[in-house]
Amino acid sequence: MPQIKKILVANRGEIALRVMRSAKEMGIKTVAVYSEADREALHVRFADEAVFIGAPASSESYLRIDKIIDAARKTGAQAIHPGYGFLSENEDFSQAVDDAGMIFIGPSPKSIEVMGSKLAAKEAVAKFNVPLVPGTSEPIDDINKAKKIAKDIGYPILIKASAGGGGKGMRIVENENEFQEQMERAVSEATSAFGDGSVFIEKYVTKPRHIEFQIFGDKHGNVIHFFERECSIQRRHQKVVEEAPSSVLTPDIRKRMGEAAINVAKSCGYYGAGTVEFILDDSLNFYFLEMNTRLQVEHPVTEMITGIDLVKLQISVAQGEKLPFKQEDLKIHGHAVEVRVYAEDPSNNFLPDIGTLQTYKRPQGNGIRVDDGFEQGMSIPFYYDPMIAKLICHAETREMAIEKTIRAIQEYEITGLETTLGFCNFVMHHEAFRSGKFDTGFVGKYFKPEVLTATPDPAEEELAAALSAHILATPTSTHAATQHEIVPVSKWKKNRI
Ligand code: MV4
């Protein structure tokens, strides 16, 4: 395979920048594509060349296979990196890049297709002895047969759409009386949402933990894993906090899950970076759920604990190189926590709060990484995902990584819009999170908007301490005035301008 000299990044925001940085370090030229809404975006400025591809709506720009291939042709890029989201898990895109004689920095169209269908994925991995949740492996066509299976596995059961994923098209059925109605709804929803009404059923594992393994394959059939990420802190299937390693895995379970993850990859001839999702029940049994055939948002926590640049590795395996290490060479170094900073208002049902970053000051210091795509004064466009940044903190132990995250959240200064920083601060302080005793129900169980004002805010504590010291050192006549004039306002509920 040829050495890649120029890469087009078919994405925007922090991930486009993150990919270009690694390419640059490898001496590879970069091409950005951008929509009307991203004329001033940092990924455009950072790239060696940039090509305008259309109107702000993704369907007119970042999702246009034809325009992106055209831009790569015009600029002479030999390879395309899709980032995450947009076209990253589109088998037609992987195929189109291949057909254009370029290298897709990602898996084959076939791997994307197999893992894109939950039923095809289950069928493929079952042959490799990967543990699956008890349930059906064929689409349901006979309601009475399905009812019988549901009875055998025991309620509650979950109906899932084969074409779904990431929580889309799922329905819980508590008992047999609800079965038929829920099944009919699930089929009709799947048909209208995905154009594919195939559904299957599984035993519903209540309150699972979500643990995913980072796997990597080369084009010579070698597959390794880079350990797990714990992603149980989610809100409506949107991850908020991720960490590596998971605090519940024993070395033995880690080894078995890692082997299962490698088998999932092998079951579809996988190459490139991929993520194998499992759920873990309260007895620490694990089950394969689905595979994401892309680099994930939360990949930096894996980079922090392994010291490996996953994007550089994606580029090397895309150009045909062998994986440069064996499983036994890999080791976990310390602990990493990532919190996602969104332009959303946690006290208003996480409604997107797009606007201008009037103040934007990143935290700094040892063990801190901020992956973002904005600078002070920029606006968050309304057309795309409202994520502002990922804050990743690495330290020797989990406790130290959490403490560092709290300090970094504190140091972050964002004004002009509401963000999820206060929500992340709440999670970092919560006893259930700190003790490691949590599951995917964490946010639903513990979060109410009121907790934002109740969570200790280190700045407030300092201010309070400074105030009392000041009060004690000041003649009594000024106490009342001081106390009334200086009211510590929560950092997380700033007045908007
Ligand atoms: C499940 C499950 C319980 N039992 N399957 C949600 C996203 C998609 N990847 C699959 N999901 C689930 N599948 C069975 N048989 C619970 C979930 C689930 C979940 C999984 C991972 C992370 C967060 C979640 C939140 C709610 C439900």
Res. 267: pLDDT tops 90: yes
Which of the four pLDDT bands, split at 50, 70 and 90, describes residue 484? very low
User: What distance in Å separates the CA atoms of residue 137 and residue 468, rounded to the nearest whole number?
Assistant: 65
389/241 same-domain check: yes
Mean of the per-residue pLDDT values for the chain? 92
Protein residue with least CA distance to atom 25, ligand 1: 440
**pLDDT at residue 490, as a whole number:** 53
Which of the four pLDDT bands, split at 50, 70 and 90, describes residue 494? very low
227/192 same-domain check: no
Distance in Å, CA 205 to ligand 1 centroid: 8
383/301 same-domain check: yes
Pick the atom of ligand 1 nearest to 164's CA.
8
234/356 same-domain check: yes
DSSP per-residue letters across 18-42: HHHHHHHHTT-EEEEEEEGGGTT-H
Distance in Å, CA 409 to ligand 1 centroid: 29
Mutate which of 122, 204, 277, 279 for ligand 1? The one with the most ligand atoms within 8 Å of its CB, which is: 279
Peptide bond into 245 cis (omega under 30): yes
Distance in Å, CA 127 to ligand 1 centroid: 23
215/190 same-domain check: no
Q: Which of 8-12, 36-40, 167-171 has the lowest mean pLDDT?
A: 167-171
In a domain, 313, yes or no: yes
Average pLDDT over residues 265-272: 98
DSSP per-residue letters across 368-426: EEEEES--TT-B--TTS--EEEEEEEEESSHHHHHHHHHHHHHH-EEESS--SHHHHHH
Of all helices (H) and strands (E), which one includes residue 427? Answer: helix 421-429
Distance in Å, CA 237 to ligand 1 centroid: 8
Domain membership of residue 480 as a residue range: 458-494
271/360 same-domain check: yes
The first and second tokens of residue 335, run together, are 């602990």
330/439 same-domain check: yes
**pLDDT at residue 167, as a whole number:** 73
DSSP code of residue 448: -
Report yes or no: 233 and 241 within 8 Å, Cβ to Cβ. Answer: yes
User: What distance in Å separates the CA atoms of residue 34 and residue 20, rounded to the nearest whole number?
Assistant: 14
Half-sphere exposure of 20 (CA within 13 A, CB side): 27
Report yes or no: 275 and 214 within 8 Å, Cβ to Cβ. Answer: yes
Res. 342: pLDDT tops 60: yes
Average pLDDT over residues 370-385: 97
Res. 290: pLDDT tops 80: yes
**pLDDT at residue 137, as a whole number:** 87
82/163 same-domain check: no
Mutate which of 238, 281, 289, 442 for ligand 1? The one with the most ligand atoms within 8 Å of its CB, which is: 289
272 or 451: which leads in pLDDT: 272
Report yes or no: 440 and 389 within 8 Å, Cβ to Cβ. Answer: no
**pLDDT at residue 2, as a whole number:** 75
Pick the atom of ligand 1 nearest to 167's CA.
7
Q: How many residues does the chain have?
A: 497
Report yes or no: 415 and 359 within 8 Å, Cβ to Cβ. Answer: yes
In a domain, 179, yes or no: yes
363/253 same-domain check: yes
Q: Which of 44-58, 90-104, 160-174 has the lowest mean pLDDT?
A: 160-174
> Residues with beta carbon inside 6 Å of ligand 1?
133, 158, 166-167, 202-205, 208, 210, 234, 237, 277, 279, 289-290, 440
Mutate which of 173, 228, 440 for ligand 1? The one with the most ligand atoms within 8 Å of its CB, which is: 440
**pLDDT at residue 479, as a whole number:** 40
- Going by their DSSP bridges, the two strands 335-342 and 344-345 should be labelled as unpaired
Q: How many CB atoms lie within 10 A of CB 128?
A: 16
Report yes or no: 12 and 46 within 8 Å, Cβ to Cβ. Answer: no
Res. 1: pLDDT tops 80: no
Q: What angle do CA 117, 8, 4 make, to 5 degrees?
A: 100
Distance in Å, CA 440 to ligand 1 centroid: 8
* Sole residue written with tokens 């509401």: 418
The first and second tokens of residue 284, run together, are 């620490």
Res. 495: pLDDT tops 60: no
The residue from 203, 223, 246 where one domain ends is 203
CATH number of the domain where residue 18 is located: 3.40.50.20
In a domain, 128, yes or no: no
CATH number of the domain where residue 158 is located: 3.30.1490.20
Res. 477: pLDDT tops 50: no
In a domain, 126, yes or no: no
Question: Is-above-0.75 flag for pTM?
Answer: yes
Average pLDDT over residues 156-160: 96
Which of the four pLDDT bands, split at 50, 70 and 90, describes residue 469? low
192/273 same-domain check: no
Which of the four pLDDT bands, split at 50, 70 and 90, describes residue 465? low
Cα radius of gyration rounded to whole Å, the chain: 24
Helix ranges restricted to H, 127-250: 143-153, 176-194
Predicted confidence (pLDDT) per residue in 173-196, tens digit = 999 999 999 999 999 999 989 999
Which of the four pLDDT bands, split at 50, 70 and 90, describes residue 165? confident
Query: How many domains are there within the chain?
Result: 4
In a domain, 164, yes or no: yes
User: What distance in Å separates the CA atoms of residue 466 and residue 463, rounded to the nearest whole number?
Assistant: 5
SS3 288: strand
The residue from 203, 237, 264 where one domain ends is 203
Average pLDDT over residues 21-28: 98
420/300 same-domain check: yes
In a domain, 412, yes or no: yes
CA 218, distance to chain mean position in Å, is 23
In a domain, 116, yes or no: no
Phi, psi of 207 (to 5 degrees): 50, 55
190/213 same-domain check: no
**pLDDT at residue 471, as a whole number:** 54
Average pLDDT over residues 296-319: 98
Average pLDDT over residues 203-227: 98
Res. 53: pLDDT tops 50: yes
In a domain, 323, yes or no: yes
| Burial classification of residue 446, based on how many CB atoms lie within 10 Å of its CB (0-12 exposed, 13-18 middle, 19 or more buried) | middle
Q: How many CB atoms lie within 10 A of CB 70?
A: 15
User: What distance in Å separates the CA atoms of residue 246 and residue 415, rounded to the nearest whole number?
Assistant: 33
Question: pLDDT above 70 covers what percent of the chain?
Answer: 91
Report, as residue numbers or ranges, the catalytic residues: 294
